[in-house]
Chain A
Amino acid sequence: MSQDKPDIKEILVTVKQLLESIANKSQGGERYDALCGAFLLSVVDRELDFGERQDESQSAELKQLLGREGSLSDLYTRFCQQVRRGDMDEQWPAAFDFAFKQVIDKVSVTNPKYLAEIHRPD
């Protein structure tokens, strides 16, 4: 990671401000595209803040739930397949809780304001 300035967060803020100013000056499709671009940069910004911690915590939970090691992507795949087959029916509350937490993590990155008060990140 470069130590030169501006850092990644500062670059994101700068480009996001540019897109917002384009959105304020334009209409129709161009305005909508600029707003979408600004939104996507805010997703990147939050993923930089939370992503690594979320991955670590989900990975630890999945390893315990599935009783095996693996990359997060492998663990997701296995979890989804086992849930789909009904293999997790015996542990349904734990499986549901994991999926719910994972969804809350994703919404915390995509659009934290969408979450109910009790689920909002600190």
Chain B
Amino acid sequence: MAADSAQQTLIDDIVARLELALKRRYGEAASVENVAIATLGASNRTLLFDLVEPGSRRRLVLRQETLKSAVSPFISPHDQFEILKVVYGHGVLVPEPIFELEPQDDLDVGYVMACVEGETLPKTLLKAPEFAVARKRFAAQTGEIFAKLHAIDPGEVAFLEKVVDSIDPLAAQISRYDAYGEYHPGLDVGIRWLENNRPKAKPRVFVHGDYRNGNVILSPDGIEAVLDWECAHIGSAMEDFGWVCLRAWRFGNIDQPVGGFGPRDEFYQAYTSNGGQAIDEEEIRWWEIFGSLRWAVLNMMQADGHISGVRRALPFACCGRNTSMIEYDMLMTIEGHFS
């Protein structure tokens, strides 16, 4: 009960400040109603609310950064907001960016965007009968979205060039792994394999970096919005392909490689027929093996949050032990048993 009441006080405090932030931008008559907590997540806090003005009401989302870590793999909320503006301008399916938080809002760092109705829970999306059509469309729609995203001139998001994942994504993951001071023979064998089999350099494009089942809003008709741009960077287009096909994101539907929803051929065909570059399946396989390393390191990050006391939570404790299953996926893929 004590934890619940502390949480309620925190939320009340945020809502009070949010209302002041809205009054500063939309006038004294603006108010906040219907607040709901979407996530008090590992790296972000997300609140849904109605911005009420005389004669209008709009559902919006407040997203605040909660992870403060020297080894955070996420770009700043400011850069995320800049990205939302760019991709929204190019017609990529994303929530409309509304405004960025400023120091005088006293709401930490983050931004406000439009609320897009739909579902993000992976298992619901993979099982619920009402998403049958959306499931069928997912692979091809993702191919279309990737084609549009990868066609954006990286010069429009040039600030992403400084992100370590833009410079050398493998070195970036190794450096994060080393920061936790853990020794995982499976991961080191995987890293050596990745070093010895690096793909040839490809044209550098703007990649989402975390496009997967769970970071996409679906309605029964299909994809409505792509969320979670905090891992965006400049790199090979094939990296996005590898990540969405990672075994972990299939949530048990292992024979449907594209997020557990659909087959590779529909996905690849939709990409190339919408102007995307030629598909390199061998490189995608490399990125899937790389993806296991990355996912294992992200799980170490969650476990570290628990062990260090920064974010103590039972699910984060489980993450530490879950790395073994990700290492298993990695080595089984290298051996050619998993595809």
Partners in one complex: yes
Q: Are A84 and B191 closer than 8 Å at their CB atoms? A: yes
Residue of B nearest to A118 (CB): B337
Contacts of B332 in A (CB 8 A): 116
B184, B186, B315, B318: the one contacting A100 at CB < 8 Å is B186
Among listed B107-115, B264-272, B322-330, interface-contacting one? B322-330
Q: Are B314 and A36 closer than 8 Å at their CB atoms? A: yes
Task: Give the complex CA separation of A105 and B189 in angstroms.
Answer: 16
**In the complex, how many angstroms separate the beta carbon of A75 from the nearest chain B beta carbon?**
9
A51 CB-CB contact with B under 8 Å: no
Q: Are A86 and B192 closer than 8 Å at their CB atoms? A: yes
Q: Tell me whether A110 and B325 are in contact in the complex, defined as CB-CB below 8 angstroms, given that A37-B314, A40-B317 are known contacts.
A: yes
Task: Give the complex CA separation of A102 and B337 in angstroms.
Answer: 18
B314, B321, B331: the one contacting A103 at CB < 8 Å is B331
Most A Cβ at <10 Å: residue of B195, B313, B321, B331: B321
Q: Are B328 and A104 closer than 8 Å at their CB atoms? A: yes
Inter-chain CB contacts under 8 Å: number: 81
A39, A77, A114: the one contacting B183 at CB < 8 Å is A77
Task: Give the complex CA separation of A114 and B22 in angstroms.
Answer: 49
Main secondary structure of the interface of A (DSSP, over half): helix
Contacts of B324 in A (CB 8 A): 103, 106-107, 109-111
Q: Are A100 and B325 closer than 8 Å at their CB atoms? A: no
**In the complex, how many angstroms separate the beta carbon of B99 from the nearest chain A beta carbon?**
30
Contacts of A37 in B (CB 8 A): 314
Binding site for B on A (CB under 8 A): 32-33, 36-37, 39-40, 43, 73, 76-77, 79-80, 83-84, 86, 88-89, 95-96, 98-100, 102-104, 106-107, 109-111, 114-116
